[in-house]
Amino acid sequence: MKTETTGSGRNLTYGLLDSVGKAIVVGAYEANPFPTEADLAKQYAVSRSVTREAVKMLTAKGLLAARPRKGTSVQPQRSWNLFDPDVLRWTLERKFSLDLLRQFTELRAAIEPMAAALAAQAADTQGIAEIAAGYQRMVEAEAGNDDPLEADIAFHIAVLEASANPFYAQFRDVVSTALRTSIRFTNRFKGRTANLPKHRAVLTAIEARDPQAAKAAMSELIEDVTALIADAERQA
């Protein structure tokens, strides 16, 4: 299959990056050698320079490795940069996995409660206002006036950024991707929507500058997802 050949070279590069990256992650090359740059250029109807740049980007993400006299090969999953937003997205486009969802939730449980505690200690006025705005979006979403998924993500990202710790803020892409996965999963349950009172409890604790309450409230939110996953695993 060939990609579109219209548009800028940059768009072509990212289009090829997306197509080939997704193919690698879903296992298209598990039983076949990875194509040469010339073969990729022919297959996707792009220039060699576009192909070369896309391969470099995939190598930087840990999906490919180039070795002298051995060519380019696909790396095992343990070498992939799972914190890369593209790699995360491609991973989620594989068949839905409860294991992956549980792993995402375990990561959230290790990050977000502490970020909430830090936000209660260190957030400035603007940071708290952003969390409050995220919560208000969730209220509007309940009334059908905003997107529930985007509103929920905005709330959690605002908490990370209000932590005043740049390392926590750097987890925004990972947490955003994890949330998109977990929220879509929980929405499969009839009548399942975001728990506004529990989100409100996080905001209230942060506004009150109570780190322990903020941490506990965020932990409780994530534990709800953990319980749903456990139920689904038992049913499976």
Give the CATH number, domain containing residue 207.
1.20.120.530
CATH no. for residue 69?
1.10.10.10
| 88 in a structural domain | no
In terms of residue numbers, what domain contains 149?
96-235
Residues 124 and 207 in one domain: yes
| Residue 74 · residue 64 · CB < 8 Å | yes
Tens-digit pLDDT string for the chain (236 aa)? 343 443 456 789 999 999 999 999 999 999 889 999 999 999 999 999 999 999 999 999 999 998 887 889 999 999 999 889 899 888 877 766 788 888 888 999 999 999 999 999 999 999 999 999 999 999 999 999 999 889 999 999 999 999 999 999 988 888 888 888 777 777 666 456 678 999 999 999 999 999 999 999 999 999 988 988 888 888 87
Q: Domain boundary at 79, 107, 135, which? A: 79
pLDDT of residue 33: 92
Residues 141 and 49 in one domain: no
Domain count, the chain: 2
Q: How many residues comprise the chain?
A: 236
The tokens for 128 are 């708290």
- Coil, strand or helix: which one is 71? strand
| Residue 59 · residue 66 · CB < 8 Å | yes
pLDDT of residue 95: 66
DSSP collapsed to 3 states, 150-164: HHHHHHHHHHHHHCC
Residues 198 and 110 in one domain: yes
Q: What gap in Å lies between CA 236 and CA 139, rounded to an integer?
A: 33
- Coil, strand or helix: which one is 76? coil
Residues 203 and 136 in one domain: yes
| Residue 158 · residue 133 · CB < 8 Å | yes
Q: Domain boundary at 79, 105, 122, which? A: 79
| 85 in a structural domain | no
Residues 26 and 116 in one domain: no
Residues 118 and 225 in one domain: yes
Contacts of residue 3, defined as CB under 8 A and 6 or more positions apart, other chains included, come to 12, 15, 16, 19, 44, 45, 46
- Calculate the alpha carbon distances from 14 to 41, 57, 94, 109, 168 in Å: 14, 9, 20, 33, 28
Residue 73: strand pairing partners: 65
Residues 75 and 102 in one domain: no
pLDDT of residue 200: 98
pLDDT of residue 109: 95
